[in-house]
Amino acid sequence: MSTATHHSRPGVSKGKIIAAVATVLFIAIMLLITGLKAHHDIPLDRTYGTPPPPDLPYPVNNNIGATIVMTVIGLSGVALGIIQWVRTKSPLPLMIALSGAVICIPEVFFDVMGGVYFPWSATEPLGQAYAILGREMPWWIAAGWFGYGAFNFFMFTLLASKPSTKTIWLMLGGAAVGDVVFEEILLSFNVYHYYGNQPLVIVSQLPWWWIPCNSIGVFLAAALAYRFQDFLRGWRSLLMLVITPLSVTTVYGAIALPSWIAVNGNYPWLPTQILGLATIALGIVVFALILELVLKRKPFELGYTPAKDVAEFGSPVQGRIDDRVSAVR
């Protein structure tokens, strides 16, 4: 009597098939939409060979309104940070919320490379805050990133709740959708403008290659704050004022180069869109690396959820647990 041994072959999971189909559809839709839009030649500066920024009027009321709205959003993050400070005895959540405002410094470099212009005024209210690389910036951009600090705080709070890896990916998707809605609204008020050979302008004015740069950059800051929350206690929480802008700069440096090349040249339609898609692809890779290297998660083990009763990464809570175990022994 003989017995046959059957070896199971690892097949392609249903989730991978869905992800592959979704990716192909996403690329096809992006190319279809941009292909249906008119593609114009981009005028280049005769001296430098790059697109010159536009010279547009400063809309006073719109800038004041945007400054007020973003400041209120930022203050909501600060209020929540103060509440968490009282609860946890650590000022880290407050510093996370405040640190968003400092991103306005590297913002200028992103604008020059990525083709963004903020109308400003030396005489009108809130029309001039600072200048870097010869770019005059209005006050609303500082308020804008201050408001984005509330999003930074939200990401940190989500990570502290120990969600599943699937939830973190869904958060990234939600951040992308929110970015599209929010920026298209702001762009309609003419408080800033994209110029140059922008890839992936899908809805109206926002080039979608910017989406992963901003959201993943802030996520890196929140992930570092969560991973090293034990170290970033007390006065060390002030380091978030450096960590957050450098995190955003790191992500831009890692993924934005293909799109920067497209923006600053006069390329045909297809290479322009491919360079924009390359930035999005690199963004997904960097997001997965943050999960792997910073948060110590397998990026595609979507069902993984950390234990709720054990603190991660040697946090103060984990230290107290270890002390109790040692006392029992």
Q: Which amino acid appears at position 152 of this protein?
A: N
Report d(CA 159, CA 167) in Å as an integer: 10
What number is the average pLDDT over the span 247-269? 96
Report d(CA 131, CA 107) in Å as an integer: 11
Tell me 207's DSSP state: B
Strands 130-132 and 135-137: antiparallel
pLDDT at 319: 41
The phi-psi region of residue 134 (left if phi > 0; otherwise alpha if psi is between -120 and 50; otherwise beta) is left
What number is the average pLDDT over the span 272-278? 97
pLDDT at 10: 53
pLDDT tens across 22-72, in order? 889 999 999 999 999 878 888 898 898 999 999 899 999 999 999 999 999
What number is the average pLDDT over the span 177-204? 95
The continuous run of DSSP H or E covering 194 comes out as: strand 193-194
Position of tokens 């209120």? Answer: 72
Residue 14 reports pLDDT greater than 80: no
What number is the average pLDDT over the span 188-205? 95
What rounded mean pLDDT belongs to the chain? 89
Residue 76 reports pLDDT greater than 50: yes
Residue 5 reports pLDDT greater than 70: no
Higher pLDDT, 194 or 18: 194
**Burial zone of 300 (CB within 10 Å; 0-12 exposed, 13-18 middle, 19+ buried):** middle
Query: Which two structure tokens, joined as six digits, stand for 135?
Result: 């770019």
Cβ–Cβ < 8 Å for 283, 33: no
The residue ranges of every structural domain in the chain are 50-328
Residue 318 reports pLDDT greater than 80: no
pLDDT tens across 276-306, in order? 999 999 999 999 999 999 999 999 999 999 9
Residue 2 reports pLDDT greater than 50: no
What number is the average pLDDT over the span 214-243? 95
Cβ–Cβ < 8 Å for 181, 174: no
Longest alpha-carbon distance in the chain: 97
Residue 142 reports pLDDT greater than 90: yes
Residue 329 reports pLDDT greater than 70: no
Residue 139 reports pLDDT greater than 90: yes
Higher pLDDT, 88 or 294: 294
Termini Cα distance of the chain: 57
Query: Which two structure tokens, joined as six digits, stand for 287?
Result: 């997001």
Cβ–Cβ < 8 Å for 164, 303: yes
pLDDT at 327: 46
What number is the average pLDDT over the span 246-250? 97
Task: Read off the pTM.
Answer: 0.89
Q: In terms of Cα–Cα distance, which of 86, 50, 70, 66 is closest to 192? A: 66
